[in-house]
Structure 1
Amino acid sequence: MSDPIVEPLEITDSVTLGDGEQPMFLLGPCVIESEEFVRDTAEKIAEIVREAGVKNFVFKASYDKANRSSASSFRGMGCRKGCEILAD
């Protein structure tokens, strides 16, 4: 195998980015709509990746989705509330 382009980065004891074994998946909703929505989505994603044997994944969701096609579209819960939800 050829030398890696970047050095592997250990995120946690069980997750390494760039380990050459599995791709890293970024999974989650585009925007935080509610705390319940984020929890339900995170639980379902955890179930799916566990069943699929995926080790390298990060749950992601935006607290402020500024790149909407309309200025009046819902952008999220805001920084403070969004970060509180994601911290749980």
Structure 2
Amino acid sequence: MNEWLGRFARHVDWQMAKSGMNLEDQQRFATLEESLKVERQQLDGTDVAAFRRAMEASQREADRYVEALRSALADSLGPR
């Protein structure tokens, strides 16, 4: 699963750069997935608060993915 997530994140980074999106970091999503992987590896199921924090961080970052992709789509469609 980690390999698939890393590939997806690198593809998103590549596609965003190719479409001219100006992200603060050209490897934003690849770096993000790596940090989330580290958090996931630290979860052992006994620390409910840590699990909640990890899920909240994951949700925030999923929202960033969606917003970046929405912005790229809006730019590619142009004005209506």
TM-score where L is the length of structure 2: 0.32
Q: Which structure: greater strand fraction?
A: 1
- The structure in which a higher percent of residues are helix is 2
Compute the TM-score of the two structures, normalised by the length of structure 1: 0.30
Larger-gyration structure (1/2): 1
